[in-house]
């Protein structure tokens, strides 16, 4: 990888080609020296990432130090035992080196996940890493990641936890480069970011139900809205936009707890807690299963989509002492051990629904030459009740209607490990590609 150093920049060069030129007067020399010192002092202040271009205006007054470049960071190695190891099964172990960015060095953190800014008093929740049971999962290496995705593109499709993941990834990559905003709209739900040095595009598409949906009422039985979900119809806001992407990460889950009317063939077939007469009330997995299936059908129906689809499994909530709207909170300060909590109840049903529909979509996609991969974050995140914003997503005296947030994840925080998982997945994909070329079928 070519790395631009300061002596390659216009303001970092010293031109001595005119050695034979008559020396200027002392006063003029002093003026030139003074101006040079001013330039060399001021320019880095305005360009703290002078090696990494960015046009984003919201970097604020954060002081960001460009990382020291190590050639070995580009060397991508894969241990053979990863073939036999489930990296998604393991424990959280202390990591004193974390975090790898702060809310002062990364502008991409959403306000409601900026826990340090809003007074969260503890910091231990940031100092853990995931240790698989049977192998080693390296900490995320931003250089390696950007080399792998050079000249490629990746899109996140789903809800605000998917956006949470994208913002975490941007922060993890900020040690190398910040992207510039290439969005064609001002809508924050549909963003395109571009990494100039790597010709890498990162995008997000808002689709919390993955299928066509609209809000039928802003109130509804739980005062969180009542939605019309067209379970057999594609959400074309994202399905028509994916053809050029190399990687597609989709997620959904938490919005299916909201009251909704279920439509198939434009006819109401039931609902989720709509409390309307003569309409069958189904468990949330009814609509969830059909929505995921329709999303995979949409992907598999695209004639020009040749990318890899990655399903990121849902991350459980951690409300204790009540539900989200009845005083529930998440106040734990430590991760669980794997033997201290079990995936059960609705969480287990949602997870199994995802896995079953993933296998179905993967089988259909394989017949069309498409690849599906699983980013199985559920078990790891089940063990992290300590990583949510709770009440630290706004000022205590702020006049806002917000509940304790035990759904999203503080940044920095446990969700940064998803980048470890993602990099591992991309490495293994590269290994598969090499093996397929070395041992072609037929």
CA dihedral 39, 45, 49, 55 (to 10 degrees): -100
115 touches 410 (CB < 8 A): yes
Catalytic residue among 408, 416, 419, 420: 408
**d(C-alpha 164, C-alpha 177), whole Å:** 19
Please tell me what DSSP assigns to residue 334: S
Q: Which two tokens stand for residue 100?
A: 């790898």
- The answer to whether residue 82 is catalytic is no
88 touches 428 (CB < 8 A): no
Q: How many residues does the chain have?
A: 442
167 touches 161 (CB < 8 A): no
Q: Which two tokens stand for residue 132?
A: 């698989």
Q: What are the Cα distances from residue 385, in Å, to 102, 233, 346, 405, 412? A: 21, 35, 17, 11, 15
- DSSP assignment of 275-314: --TT--B--HHHHHHHHHHHHHHHHHH-SS--SEEEEEPP
214 touches 171 (CB < 8 A): no
3-state secondary structure of 205: strand
Catalytic residue among 405, 416, 420, 424: 405
- The answer to whether residue 136 is catalytic is no
**Peptide bond between residue 106 and the one before it cis (omega within 30 degrees of 0):** no
Q: Which two tokens stand for residue 389?
A: 């914003």
Please tell me what DSSP assigns to residue 323: -
Q: What are the Cα distances from residue 8, in Å, to 2, 37, 50, 309? A: 12, 18, 11, 40
390 touches 406 (CB < 8 A): yes
* H/E element, 407: none
Q: Is the dihedral of CA 88, 94, 100, 105 positive or negative?
A: positive
Q: Which residue has the tokens 């002092």?
A: 41
Catalytic residue among 160, 174, 207, 390: 160
Which of 414, 254, 381 shows the shortest CA–CA distance to 324? 254
204 touches 155 (CB < 8 A): yes
- The answer to whether residue 160 is catalytic is yes
Q: Residues with catalytic annotation?
A: 160, 405, 408
């Amino acid at each position: 990888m070519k790395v631009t150093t300061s002596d390659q920049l216009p303001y970092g060069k010293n031109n001595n080609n005119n050695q034979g030129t008559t020396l200027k007067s002392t006063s003029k020399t002093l003026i030139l020296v003074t101006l040079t010192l001013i330039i060399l002092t001021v320019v880095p202040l305005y360009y703290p990432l002078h090696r990494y271009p960015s046009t984003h205006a919201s970097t604020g007054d954060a002081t960001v130090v460009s990382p020291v470049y190590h050639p070995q960071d580009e060397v991508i190695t894969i241990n053979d035992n990863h073939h036999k190891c489930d990296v998604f099964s393991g424990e959280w172990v202390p990591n004193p080196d974390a975090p790898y960015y702060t809310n002062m060095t990364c502008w991409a953190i959403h306000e409601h996940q900026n826990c340090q800014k809003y007074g969260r008093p503890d910091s231990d929740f940031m100092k853990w890493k995931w240790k698989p049971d049977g192998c080693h999962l390296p900490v995320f290496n931003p250089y390696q990641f950007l080399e792998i995705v050079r000249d490629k593109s990746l899109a996140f499709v789903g809800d605000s936890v998917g956006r949470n993941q994208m913002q975490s990834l941007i922060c993890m990559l900020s040690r190398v480069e910040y992207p510039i905003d290439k969005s064609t709209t001002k809508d924050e739900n549909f963003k395109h970011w571009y990494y100039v040095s790597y010709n890498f595009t990162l995008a997000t598409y808002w689709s919390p139900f993955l299928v066509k949906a609209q809000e039928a009422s802003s109130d509804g039985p739980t005062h969180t809205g009542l939605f019309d979900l067209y379970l057999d119809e594609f959400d074309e806001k994202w399905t028509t936009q994916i053809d050029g992407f190399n990687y597609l990460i989709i997620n959904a889950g938490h919005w299916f707890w909201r009251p909704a009317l279920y439509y198939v063939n434009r006819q109401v077939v039931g609902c989720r807690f709509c409390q309307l007469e003569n309409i069958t009330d189904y468990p949330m997995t009814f609509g969830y299963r059909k929505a995921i299936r329709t999303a995979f059908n949409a992907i598999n129906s695209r004639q020009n989509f040749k990318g890899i689809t990655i399903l990121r499994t849902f991350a459980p909530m951690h409300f204790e002492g009540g539900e989200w709207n009845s005083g529930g909170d998440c106040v734990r300060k430590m991760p669980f051990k794997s033997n201290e909590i079990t995936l059960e109840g609705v969480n287990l049903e949602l997870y199994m629904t995802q896995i079953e529909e993933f296998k179905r979509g993967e089988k259909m996609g394989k017949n069309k030459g498409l690849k599906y991969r699983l980013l199985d974050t559920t078990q790891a995140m089940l063990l992290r009740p300590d990583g949510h914003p709770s009440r630290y997503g706004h000022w205590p005296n702020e006049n806002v209607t917000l509940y304790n947030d035990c759904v999203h994840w503080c940044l920095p925080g446990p969700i940064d490990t998803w980048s470890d998982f993602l990099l591992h997945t991309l490495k293994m994909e590269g290994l598969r590609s090499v093996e397929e070329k070395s041992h072609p079928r037929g």
